[in-house]
Amino acid sequence: MEEHLYQQFYEIENTHWWFTARQSIITTYLRHRVDTTQRWKLLDVGCGTGAILAGASQLFDAYGMDASPRAIEFCRKRGLTKLFVGNLDGYPSGDLFDIITLFDVIEHIDDDLGVLKLAYSRLNSSGHMLVTVPAYQWLWSSHDEVNHHKRRYTRSQLRRLVANAGFQIDHCTYFNTLLFPIALLRRLLAQATHAQQADDFLIPSRPVNALLRGIFQSERYAVPFATLPFGLSLLCWATKPRL
């Protein structure tokens, strides 16, 4: 990802509708999947500027890592301290986790299977992994270019990838479903007119921002339980089988 984007993300993650709604969905999902009265040890791989990690720290013994020193600087500005600069293969050996999360991370990596296998090796027996990725290669846009994405996924592709890394798949669903028609129309119009798409991370007017956040955030009631048939993103919850 472009280094200048970390500054932008840090400034908008607590207000932009997409970031705030996604965080609400992820927090609700984790509360549904595990007993948060226990002190689960969690590692957020590719934690970025730390907005989700800060929320996770309220529920878990949460650690964060990112390959970008700039991203880790912003995490420290949030008061986070359990941080590591580097890639998962360089994380201190012997340190195992109950949950590993990769939120919109593996689409940036050439060897996506390799990083999931590394996550598998860093989990305790019966540990869990939560992954989110962007959906549908045919939705590729300038947003993917700016963020240095390598690919987008279908549900079947993500399921196959996670299974090939050794995991048992417990739940895999699309999400950001309600806003999918609007996003699709916007991208089709941009393709037809050869127009440059607007910056996805500009905060719209307060009423529009609140409306979009409310629509997207409402999916938190469905995502933990349903298998939604389509959406702009995918989520997969998987378990390391007990040996």
CA quadruple 178, 53, 206, 190: dihedral sign: negative
Contact, 106 vs 163, CB < 8 A?
Answer: no
Residue from 90, 89, 34 nearest 62 by CA: 34
Q: Confidence band (pLDDT; 50, 70, 90) for 92?
A: confident
Quote the pLDDT of residue 199. Answer: 60
Domains and CATH numbers, the chain: 4-239 (3.40.50.150)
What distances in angstroms separate CA 209 from CA 1, 20, 91, 184, one per listed residue? Answer: 25, 10, 38, 19
Neighbour tally for 35: CB within 10 Å = 7
pLDDT at 195 over 80: no
Could you read off the pLDDT of 25-42 as tens digits, one per residue?
999 999 999 999 998 999
* DSSP reduced 3-state for 113: helix
Q: Confidence band (pLDDT; 50, 70, 90) for 197?
A: low
Average pLDDT over residues 203-210: 96
pLDDT at 133 over 90: yes
Q: Confidence band (pLDDT; 50, 70, 90) for 186?
A: confident
pLDDT at 187 over 90: no
Q: Confidence band (pLDDT; 50, 70, 90) for 99?
A: very high
Q: Confidence band (pLDDT; 50, 70, 90) for 17?
A: very high
Instruction: Show contacts of 64-72: CB within 8 Å, 24+ apart.
Output: 65/91, 68/1, 68/3, 68/6, 70/3, 70/6, 71/6, 71/47
Per the confidence metrics, is the pTM higher than 0.85? Answer: yes
Average pLDDT over residues 162-176: 98
Could you read off the pLDDT of 48-74 as tens digits, one per residue?
999 999 999 999 999 999 999 999 999
